Amino acid sequence: MNASFVVELRKRRVVAILRGLGPREAEAVAEVLLDAGFDWLEVPLNRPGALEALACLSRSPLAAQLRLGAGTVCTTEQVQQAVEAGARYLLSPNLNLGVLAEARRLGVPFVPGVMTPSECFAALEAGAAALKLFPFRALGAAGVRDLQAVLPGPFLGVGGVSTENLREVLGVCEAAGLGSLFWAPGTPLEVLRTRAAEISAIAAQAAPP
* pTM across the whole model: 0.96
142: left (phi over 0), alpha (psi -120 to 50) or beta: alpha
Query: Rounded distance, CA 10 to CA 27, Å?
Result: 25
3-state secondary structure of 129: coil
198 is catalytic: no
Question: In this predicted model, what pLDDT tens digit does every residue of 122-167 receive, in sequence order?
Answer: 999 999 999 999 999 999 999 999 999 999 899 999 999 999 999 9
One of 42, 102, 168, 174 is an active-site residue; which one?
42
d(C-alpha 90, C-alpha 88), whole Å? 7
Q: So where are the chain's domains?
A: 2-205
**Tell me, which fold does domain 2-205 have in CATH?**
TIM Barrel (3.20.20)
Instruction: Mark whether 11 is an active-site residue.
Output: no
Active-site residue among 25, 102, 132, 174?
A: 132
